[in-house]
Amino acid sequence: MEGRRAGRLPALRAIAHHLTRAGLTVFFWFIGTAVVTVWFVFRDPRFDYRLLIVGAVLPAIVDAFFGGARVLHSLTFSVVLLVVLMLATPRGTTIRRTLLALPIGTLLHLVFTGAWMNPQVFWWPFLGWSFEDAAHPVAERGWWNVLLELIGLGLCAWVFVRAELADPQRRREFWRTGRLTLPIA
């Protein structure tokens, strides 16, 4: 058991190094804003927030390994992901409804990271194939990330309280289905 844990530590350290090098310490901002936005826009009790959360942090994590904003910070990636999902899944099915959360999460990441502020990356490949060593949008914000992360943490805490996730049964339901029961008022 100890050997397996020890073997994972270098991998975890490598991931942490890549994320830190890109200036990525912001996760709650993306998670909190995505969950609250989707709840207020869709108000769908069947929505899978687990995949939304994955989609909301996926561009930050993947592009960090490339040292800056790349393909996942382009509108093209999110649109292609959405189109592939729509073509690959039958209309009106549970799998389509579930998987739609992933491209919605990546699109919301673009909104809440301010990805459009770098047109070369945001409109890739329409303005050219080069990313011109574009910095990661999170890294460009500097100390503002602390404030944004605190706001995101506050949003996550609000969701935790409103969805009554302190109740073990509600937490198990969330982990099993991805559904959150948030009151409208």
Q: What is the pLDDT of residue 90?
A: 94
Most confident of 18-22, 147-151, 181-185: 147-151
Query: Which distant-in-sequence residues (6+ apart) come within 8 Å of 40 by Cβ?
Result: none
Residue 24 domain-assigned (yes or no): yes
Structure confidence at residue 23 (pLDDT): 47
Q: How far apart are CA 74 and CA 91, in angstroms?
A: 26
In a domain, 16, yes or no: yes
Torsion sign over Cα 74, 110, 77, 142: positive
Q: What is the DSSP string of the chain?
A: -HHHHHHHHHHHHHHHHHHHHTT----HHHHHHHHHHHHHHH--TT--HHHHHHHHHHHHHHHHTTTS--GGGSHHHHHHHHHHHHHHS-TT-HHHHHHTHHHHHHHHHHHHHTGGG-HHHHTTTTT-S--TTPPPHHHHHTTHHHHHHHHHHHHHHHHHHHTTTTSHHHHHHHHHH--------
The per-residue pLDDT for range 1-34, each reduced to its tens digit, is 455 555 555 655 555 555 455 445 678 999 999 9
Contact 56, 110 (CB under 8 A): no
Domain count, the chain: 1
In this predicted model, which residue has the larger pLDDT, 24 or 88? 88
Residue 184 forms part of a structural domain: no
Query: Does some domain include residue 30?
Result: yes
Residue 172 pLDDT > 80, yes or no?
Answer: yes
For residue 182, being part of any structural domain is answered with: no
pLDDT for the residue 1: 45
Average pLDDT over residues 107-120: 89
Domain residues for 159?
Answer: 2-177
Q: How large is the average pLDDT for residues 90-102? A: 93
In a domain, 185, yes or no: no
Q: Please say if the pLDDT value at position 54 is more than 70.
A: yes
Residue whose entry in the numeric block shows the structure tokens 């994955």: 54
What's the mean pLDDT in 160-183?
91
Write down the number of H helices and E strands in the chain.
10, 0
Higher-confidence position of 42 and 143: 42
- According to the model, what pLDDT value does residue 134 have? 77
The pTM is what? 0.81
